[in-house]
Structure formats: C-alpha cells, structure tokens
Amino acid sequence: MSVALRNAQRAVPVRRAPLRRAVCVLRAALGVPRFDVGLVCAGNGLMRRLNGAYRQRSEPTDVLSFPFHQVAAGELPRPRCRDEYNLGDIFLGVEYIHQQCRATGEDFDSVLAVTAAHGLCHLLGYQHNTKCEWEQMYQKEVEILEYLNRLTGASLRPLTAGLF
C-alpha cells in the first residue's frame, strides 16, 4: 500500500514526490498496488558494497532489487497475512545514474523512473540472464512503462533495450 522512500545519499538531489508517484503507478500496472515496496536512493559507496556482497562485483551499479517473495516471472505473490503484502526493497544507485545521465544527456528523473520499473520487475521474478528471460522482462517493462507514459505524457523506454 505504501512506497517507503529513503534518500541515503547526499551527492545528488532527488525529487522524491515524482519518483514516489511513478512507483505507485508502476505497481498498479504490475497488478500489485496493495503491496508495500521500499525504495532507497543510494550513493556509489553503498551500491559498491551491496553489489560486492550480493553479486560479487565490487563496483557501483544502477539498481539492486531484494524481493520479499520468491515468484516466477509473470506470477504474483500470494500473501497469507497482512505482513506479507510486501514486494521487497529496491536500491537505486542515484549517484551512478546521475553520472550516466550527465554523460549521455538523458533526463535524470526519467531514468530514475525507468530504473525503478526495472527494479520492480526484478522484485516480481523477472530476470535478464538469458535471451529468453530478457525478452520476457523487456516486454513487461515496455507494458508498464507504456501505462505510465499514457498517464504522464512521457515517452519512457526500458533500460535493457538491445541487451541481447
């Protein structure tokens, strides 16, 4: 039901309200509007530590997702009680994202929303380790971003375009 958003970095100003609204719309597009999600805006140091601890890559990254439920892509969690209405936590590497946006000229707030969409898909079991997994995840990202685009007038596209 809620999006708990915490800014755990000071390197980059983050407009919290638009990001929170985008995540709420994306949850609805995924069919999980009643589920809580934690969103942490992190700097390069925290992202480097988390990426090293959980993915054995000691470098900052744009997004890391930690699901509460273990579900297959395309399945929705089946909570048994109120405490299980939780999707999990998404760590957005806002400092890393900001650096990438400065290098490419992309809009930072738009890329944050797209990255959050990517993270939400990971919370719901979508992966991109193989071409087949990537195709499934890419299609889901396109679908939910088109939903967000219709409501906001934006023209957001998935992060993983052209991955395979």
pTM to 2 decimals?
0.96
The domain ranges of the chain are: 3-152
- pLDDT for 1 beyond 90: no
Domain boundaries 3-152, CATH class: alpha beta
Q: Which residues of 59-81 are buried (b: 16+ CB within 10 A; e: fewer)?
A: ebbbbbbbbbbebeeeeebeeee
C-alpha closest to that of 47 among 90, 16, 85: 90
Question: Which pLDDT tens digit goes with each residue over 66-117?
Answer: 999 999 999 999 999 999 999 999 999 999 999 999 999 999 999 999 999 9
Cβ proximity of 20 and 41 under 8 Å: no
Residue 85: what residue type? Y
Give the pLDDT score at 65. Answer: 98
Angle at Cα 68 formed by Cα 98 and Cα 89, nearest 5°? Answer: 20
* Average pLDDT rounded to a whole number, residues 25-53: 97
* Average pLDDT rounded to a whole number, residues 5-27: 97
Q: How far is CA 164 from CA 87, 131, 141, in A?
A: 27, 6, 15
Residue 119 to residue 122: CA distance in whole angstroms: 5
Mean pLDDT, the chain, whole residue set: 95
Four-residue CA torsion sign, 135, 137, 141, 144: positive
The 3-state DSSP class for residue 122 equals: helix
Under the banding of pLDDT at 50, 70 and 90, the label for residue 159 is: confident
Under the banding of pLDDT at 50, 70 and 90, the label for residue 162 is: confident
Compute the half-sphere exposure of residue 88: CA atoms within 13 Å on the CB side of its CA. 19
Give the pLDDT score at 114. Answer: 97
Residue 69 to residue 97: CA distance in whole angstroms: 27
